[in-house]
Amino acid sequence: MDYFLYYGCSLEGGGVHYMISTEAVAKALGINFHEIEDWNCCGASIAYIGGNEMQSIVLNARNLALAEAQGGYDIVAPCSSCYIMLNKVNRELQAHPKLMAQVNEILAEGGLKYSGQIRVRHILDLLYHDVGVEKIKAAVKKPLTGVKVAAYYGCQTTRPFGEYDSCENPHTQDDILAALGAEVVEFGHRVKCCGSGIFLTEIDKCAYLVKDIIESAAAGGAQIISTACPMCQMNLEIYQQRVNAITGANLNMPVVFVTQLMALAFGGDKDGAAALNRLVVPSGPALQAVGA
C-alpha cells in the first residue's frame, strides 16, 4: 500500500507525536508512506487573513501538482486542516476546468502542471477503509483493555464533505479504538468545535468550547481523549490550565492522537513509537491498565 504522507507544518512541530506514532502504525500495518518532495504549507483555516482565495488555491495546487509529478499516489493527511484545504481545492479544480486552466498558468511559474488525478484522504479514511478494522485487530499485541477513551472528531476531520464518515455522527475513530480493545465511551461533544485556529487569539471565548468538550467526555466516563487532528490535540491539551483559570473548570484530561493508542496496542514502546513522553498532560492513570 503506497501513499503520500502529507506531513503538514504541525507534524514538524507541536504535533510531532502524531508523526512518530503515525510512522510506527504504518510500519506495523504494511503501509508505505512517501514524502511529497518540497511540499509547502496548505494555508490552514486562517490563510484568508493574509492571503486571498486564489493564493489559497495555488498553495494547495502546488502540492497536488508535485504529488502528481512524483508518482500520483493518494495523498494522506493526518492533519484535518491540511486534509480539508487539499481536498477542497482538489475538488474545486476537478469540477471547474476554467479554474484549472487559470491555476495551471500560475503553476507554470514553477514549471508545474496539475491535471486533477490525485485523491486526497484523511488518515482515518485510510485506516478504516483501506486497512480495515479486521487487519487493525489482527495487529494488536497489547489490547487496551480497561482504557476508557472518548473518540473526539472535532470539525474538519469529517466536515464539510463527509466523504468517508458521517459529518454528524461519525464512527471510524470509535471503531478503530474498539478494535484496539479499548472501552469507547459515549459523549455529546464528539463533533463540536475546539476553537481551531482562533483559539489562541480569542481564548476568552474559545476556553468555554474546550471546557465543554472535556467535561462532556469526562461525564461519559472517559479517562483519556483521542483525536485525529493536531489542532484539536493542541487546543484541548496544552491550554487546560488557562481554560481552568478563565472558566473556573478543573480540567486535567490527557489528550492523545488515535495513532498513539494504536502504536501502544501494536506493542510499541510508550515513549518510543507511542510518543507518550511528548504529552503536556501526562497520560497518568488513564493508561495504567495497560502498563503505560
Partner 1 sequence: MDYNQTFAKEVYEKVDSGDEIKVCMQCGVCGATCPLRGEMKYGPRQIWSLIRAGRRDEVLNNPDIMLCTSCYTCQVRCPRGVPIMEVMHGLAHYALAQGIVPRAETAKFGKAFWEGIYDTGRVDEAVVPIKYCLQDGLVAGLKKSLGMMDIGLALMKAKRMKPKMFIPPNIFIPGVHKIKGVKQLQRMLDKAAAIDAAKEA
Q: Does residue 211 bind partner 1 (CB under 8 A)? A: no
**Grid cell 476508557 in the structure block, residue:** 148
Q: Does residue 202 bind partner 1 (CB under 8 A)? A: yes
- Contact between residue 4 and residue 36 where contact means Cβ atoms under 8 Å apart: yes
- For residue 199, CA distances in Å to 30, 45, 58, 195, 236 come to 37, 12, 26, 5, 10
User: Judged by CB under 8 A, which stretch of 55-63, 144-152, 219-227, 261-269 contacts partner 1?
Assistant: 55-63
Q: Within 51-96, where are the H helices?
A: 53-69, 80-95
**CB of 106 or CB of 219, closer to partner 1:** 106
Beta strands 148-151 and 183-184 are parallel
Q: Does residue 129 bind partner 1 (CB under 8 A)? A: no
Cell of 212: 465543554
**CB of 92 or CB of 183, closer to partner 1:** 92
Work out how close the CB of 251 gets to partner 1 at its nearest, in angstroms, rounded to a whole number: 14
**CB of 127 or CB of 206, closer to partner 1:** 206
Residues 244-273 within binding reach of partner 1 (CB under 8 A) = none
User: Judged by CB under 8 A, which stretch of 24-32, 69-77, 124-132, 157-165 contacts partner 1?
Assistant: 157-165
Tell me the Ramachandran region of residue 248: left when phi exceeds 0, alpha when psi lies from -120 to 50, beta otherwise.
left
Q: Does residue 169 bind partner 1 (CB under 8 A)? A: no
DSSP calls for 192-204: ----GGGTTTTHH
Q: What share of the chain is helix, strand, coil (3-state, %, to 5)?
A: 50, 10, 40
Work out how close the CB of 143 gets to partner 1 at its nearest, in angstroms, rounded to a whole number: 27
**CB of 17 or CB of 121, closer to partner 1:** 17
CA distance 187 to 112: 46
Instruction: Sheet with 224-227: list strands edge to edge.
Output: 183-184, 148-151, 224-227, 255-257
List 1, 35, 41, 141, residue binding partner 1 (CB under 8 A): 41
Q: Does residue 284 bind partner 1 (CB under 8 A)? A: no
Q: Does residue 138 bind partner 1 (CB under 8 A)? A: no
> What one-letter code names the amino acid at 71?
G
Work out how close the CB of 238 gets to partner 1 at its nearest, in angstroms, rounded to a whole number: 6
Q: Does residue 14 bind partner 1 (CB under 8 A)? A: yes
Contact pattern from residue 69 through residue 108 relative to partner 1, giving x for each residue in contact according to CB under 8 A and a dash for the rest:
---------------x-----------------x--xxx-
φ, ψ (nearest 5 deg) of residue 122: -90, 155
> What one-letter code names the amino acid at 133?
V
**DSSP H or E stretch at residue 258:** helix 258-265
Where do contacts with partner 1 occur on this chain (CB under 8 A)? 9-10, 12-17, 38-41, 43-55, 57-59, 62, 84, 102, 105-107, 109-111, 154-156, 159-160, 162, 167-168, 192-202, 205-206, 209, 238-239, 241-242, 277-280
